[in-house]
Chains A and B, each alone.
Chain A
């Protein structure tokens, strides 16, 4: 799948809210091979945000860490300066013009690929999929590879085979974590070119409590295939979060307060090796 740019769109229906709505969502099911069916329902305390998938990186010594930190201090102060300047100078935009598209991700920018991370099931030795995100000759982002659903028989994993790209976590100066503030927008607009298969768009909205750490909102991205580019507009209200298992089946409006990462995923269950791109 090739993703040229990813933008958000504002409209007259603004959502003003500063609280995180309790979401009433039922476990969701999609077209075959799209949305994962059984969500892990855990009401117990979770120790870490990665739920056991933390890659163990041996940290350098404390002295090296301090030196490294001081080296990065310059850049961070520069960032902080800009933030302060922006805070003092600019007034917040209160009225967004309806129907206007603001570009957030553009692969034609410099270092556009640095904002994305590619993950597959092979990263944790749970599968054999390969995926890459590169720039094509025409300057678009090209997500390609091969999804392999050959089962790893370790007695724990039920099924394998996925490839995923996601944006890096937005941050402020001094490595403070932040989120996209898309409260004023209500549609996701993308210019893409696919291979005719269905992809999954994941919007990760991490909450404060451990129960909300893994909240991910999904929707299916249908691609036409063929040489022509395709404009996709998906309202945020279409997204649903199957992880929130509440037995009361009701659809609640999804409110944009914290959107940390955005990702595209391809999942495969039935066929063994499937090239895509």
Chain B
């Protein structure tokens, strides 16, 4: 058996050598087409120059076609999930060998956002399905250790990484697919298992969960933002006002207001000679959407915050006079509790977000608060404290409403 095997091997090698020789001969015969350097070595200097001239003429007449780097996804007019999946199907049925499937998957990954499918698990699975099953499974230890078919494995690892970055959690069907393609020892499998270990752990970790995807409507997002900020006080109520209900209001928008009974109480106890401030805009982010909000705030009540509360357990400073009896300590065991809203840097009465974030809408907010259970606001002076961005925005919005400013816009000038 062994001898036979050796013989066969020899025959094979002989065949290989003869093949190689024939290839070499072929290459000699086709030197002028493929190998210009070889030409230069063999032929005389005059001849080479003429040849070069010929070549130049040739190139002027007929340009060799550039290697085809086409993005099939860029030419699609109707960019939807269906057309994306249809393109994958076309690729799969075009050729038995599915040539260039790695390049195709990379191109498909780059164009996912244009089709709006970057958060879709089904599409990722369809992309993995492009890979042939069973071909890339290592059959021995060395193949398994030295990353069998590295380009293909890296391609799928990159796909999984994109999923990971966008927070798309894979499922068990994907595991089965990857097992069929790369086998138990494949690197994409290791990546998949690691993802399935960690991603569910972080998925619901946030104490303020958000719906996925976020709603598009700004009012819904504003409601969610105010709701989230109001979790500090369980008695808080989020209400939506319409500025239509206010007399003399210029803007016609919504106002989302967050206020609790405790804040109402604090506001009614606020002295009339001290001003309250509308401050903002401040930013709050809900995943990748941001909302501007404003606060109704007063300066901190220093006399209340800094009254010395005696710690009865503190034995570091016992007042023990040398003569006479000790002075009895003032006991303040029964006192007003400090509210959550009485922060060190101010007392917060209410939070709001408006549709336009203009001064006028905030004025309507104060009026609406006054009508809805806070009559004290009519007596307290209310001051605006804006950071620069909103003022600029307000001017911008106001300028757009005037016809004069519209004409002075550079684009309209160009048209004239």
Which residues of A are interface residues toward B (Cβ below 8 A)?
26-35, 37-38, 137-138, 140, 195-198, 220, 222, 224-230, 247, 249, 269-271, 275-277
Tell me if B198 and A26 are in contact (CB < 8 A): yes
Q: How far is the CB of A254 from chain B (nearest CB, A)?
A: 16
Given contact pairs A37-B161, A224-B228, A247-B190, A29 touches B199 in the complex (Cβ within 8 A): yes
Min CB–CB distance B298 → chain A (angstroms): 12
A227 and B198 form a contact (CB under 8 A): no
A27 and B194 within 8 A (CB): yes
The listed residue (A222, A224, A275) touching B232 by CB distance below 8 A is A224
What's the dominant secondary structure at chain A's contact region?
Answer: loop
B167 touches A32 (CB 8 A): yes
Q: Which chain A residues border B286 with CB–CB below 8 Å? A: 196
Please determine whether B348 and A29 come into contact, CB atoms closer than 8 angstroms. no
A270 engages B284 (CB within 8 Å): no
Q: Once the chains bind, are B231 and A224 in contact (CB under 8 Å)?
A: yes
Q: Which residues of B contact A137 (CB under 8 A)?
A: 345
Stretch touching chain A among B53-61, B64-72, B172-180, B204-212: B204-212
Give per-residue flags for B189-200: 1 if the beta carbon is below 8 A from chain A beta carbons, else 0: 010011101110
Contact of B288 among A220, A270, A275 (CB under 8 A): A270
Chain B residues with Cβ below 8 Å from A276 are 283, 285
With A29-B202, A31-B205, A196-B228 already in contact, the answer to whether A228 and B167 are too (CB < 8 A) is: no
Query: Within the assembled complex, what's the spacing in Å between the Cα atoms of A29 and B225?
Result: 26
CB distance from B119 to the nearest CB of A (A): 10
**Would you give 12 A-B contacts (Cβ < 8 Å), ordered by A?**
A26-B197, A29-B199, A29-B202, A37-B161, A140-B345, A222-B206, A224-B229, A225-B284, A226-B293, A227-B348, A228-B340, A228-B341
Q: A27-B198, A198-B206 are in contact. List 17 more A-B contacts (CB 8 A).
A: A26-B194, A26-B198, A29-B195, A29-B202, A35-B202, A196-B283, A197-B285, A222-B207, A224-B208, A226-B232, A226-B293, A227-B229, A227-B346, A249-B193, A270-B288, A275-B283, A277-B283
Report the minimum CB–CB distance from A232 to chain B (whole Å): 10
A29 & B207 in contact (Cβ 8 Å cutoff): no
* Contact mask for chain B residues 264-291; partner A; CB cutoff 8 A; 1 contact, 0 none: 0000000000000000001111101000
A226 partner, pick from B161, B164, B165, B284, beta carbons under 8 A: B284
By the criterion CB–CB under 8 Å, are B198 and A30 in contact? yes
Contact A32 B344 (CB under 8 A): no
Determine the chain B residues whose CB is within 8 A of the CB of A35 once the complex forms.
Answer: 202
B residues with CB within 8 A of A: 161, 164-167, 190, 193-195, 197-199, 202-203, 205-208, 225, 228-232, 282-286, 288, 293, 295, 297, 340-341, 343-346, 348, 351
Question: Per a CB cutoff under 8 Å, which of A28, A138, A229, A269 touches B198?
Answer: A28
Given A29-B164, A29-B202, A32-B167: A225 in contact with B285 (beta carbons within 8 A): yes
The answer to whether A138 touches B344, judged by C-beta atoms less than 8 angstroms apart, is yes
Q: How far is the CA of A28 from the CA of B197 in the complex (A)?
A: 8
Of B165, B343, B348, which contacts A37 at CB under 8 A? B165
Q: Which residues of B contact A275 (CB under 8 A)?
A: 283
Q: Given A138-B344, A195-B284, is A30 in contact with B208 using a C-beta cutoff of 8 Å?
A: no
Contact present for B351 and A227 (CB under 8 Å): yes
B166 cross-chain contacts in A, Cβ below 8 A: 32
Q: How far, in Å, is B338 (CB) from chain A's closest CB? A: 13
Chain B residues near A224: list those with CB within 8 A.
Answer: 207-208, 228-229, 231-232
B351 and A195 contacting across the interface, CB-CB below 8 Å: no
Q: For the complex, what is the distance from the CA of A205 to the CA of B194, rounded to whole Å?
A: 23
Interface pair A196/B285, CB less than 8 Å apart? yes
Considering only CB atoms, which chain A residue lies closest to B204 in the complex?
Answer: A31
B314 to chain A, nearest CB (A): 14
Q: Which residue of B lies closest to A232 (CB)?
A: B207
Nearest to B229 among chain A residues (CB) is A226
- Asked whether, in the complex, the Cβ of A227 is within 8 Å of the Cβ of B165, the reply is no
The complex places the Cα of A34 from the Cα of B64 at a distance, in Å, of: 49
Q: Which of A195, A249, A270, A277 contacts B194 (CB 8 A)?
A: A249
- How far apart sit A140 and B232, CA to CA, in the bound complex (Å)? 20
A203 to B165, CA, bound (A): 22
Residue of B nearest to A159 (CB): B165
**Which of A31, A195, A247 gathers the greatest number of chain B CB atoms within 10 Å?**
A31
A227 and B279 alpha carbons, distance in the complex (Å): 10
Interfacial chain A residues near B203, Cβ < 8 Å: 31
Chain A, residue nearest B344 (CB): A138
Q: Which residues of A contact B195 (CB under 8 A)?
A: 29
- Residues in A neighbouring B282, C-beta threshold 8 A: 195, 227
Chain B residues near A26 (CB-CB < 8 A): 194, 197-198
Distance A260 CA – B157 CA, assembled complex (angstroms): 33
A269 touches B225 (CB 8 A): no
Closest 4 CB pairs of A and B: A226-B229, A32-B167, A138-B345, A225-B284
Output the residue of A27, A228, A276 with the most chain B CB within 10 A.
A228
Distance to closest chain A CB from B225 (angstroms): 7
Inter-chain CA distance A27–B125, complex, in Å, is: 23
